[in-house]
Amino acid sequence: KQEVTQIPAALSVPEGENLVLNCSFTDSAIYNLQWFRQDPGKGLTSLLLIQSSQREQTSGRLNASLDKSSGRSTLYIAASQPGDSATYLCAVRRETSGSRLTFGEGTQLTVNP
């Protein structure tokens, strides 16, 4: 059974800091991994999708890396801003499960002005 863990559960940083969010998964037979952002009481916004054959993906100030063999992914946020405050969720998709995602518990990020 796939389990996804995110560390830390919560993180508070001053504006402008670079930060790294961690995600680990127990079953390396993944198809891809998706990072999402969720604002309080809202739906999920897709940030980055990284295929199992890729090592990293970048979008603006965000960079996601994937090490499939060790079961780890990181989300790097450069020059953090107060608007980045949200919960960040990592989710993995197995090779045989179609679009079904298994989610981690999330990291709640607060960026202080």
Partner 1 sequence: KAGVTQTPRYLIKTRGQQVTLSCSPISGHRSVSWYQQTPGQGLQFLFEYFSETQRNKGNFPGRFSGRQFSNSRSEMNVSTLELGDSALYLCASSLASGPYEQYFGPGTRLTVT
| CA–CA distance, 50 with 71 (Å, rounded to integer) | 13
Q: Which range in 22-30, 55-63, 67-75, 85-93 contacts partner 1 by CB under 8 A?
A: 85-93
Least distance to partner 1 from the beta carbon of 49, Å? Answer: 5
Measured from the CB atom, is 42 or 61 closer to partner 1? Answer: 42
What is the number of alpha carbons within 13 Å of residue 46 lying toward its C-beta? 8
Pick from 60, 69, 83, 99 the residue near partner 1 by CB under 8 A.
99
Measured from the CB atom, is 63 or 97 closer to partner 1? Answer: 97
Considering the rule CB under 8 A, would residue 100 count as an interface residue with partner 1?
yes
Measured from the CB atom, is 18 or 45 closer to partner 1? Answer: 45
CB 92 within 8 Å of CB 33: yes
Least distance to partner 1 from the beta carbon of 112, Å? Answer: 24
Strands (E), the chain: 4-7, 10-14, 19-25, 30-38, 44-51, 56-59, 62-67, 72-77, 86-94, 102-103, 107-112
Instruction: Please state the separation of Cα 54 from the chain's center in Å.
Output: 15
3-state secondary structure of 54: coil
Binding positions for partner 1, rule: CB under 8 A: 31-32, 34, 36, 41-46, 49, 51, 89, 91, 93, 97-106
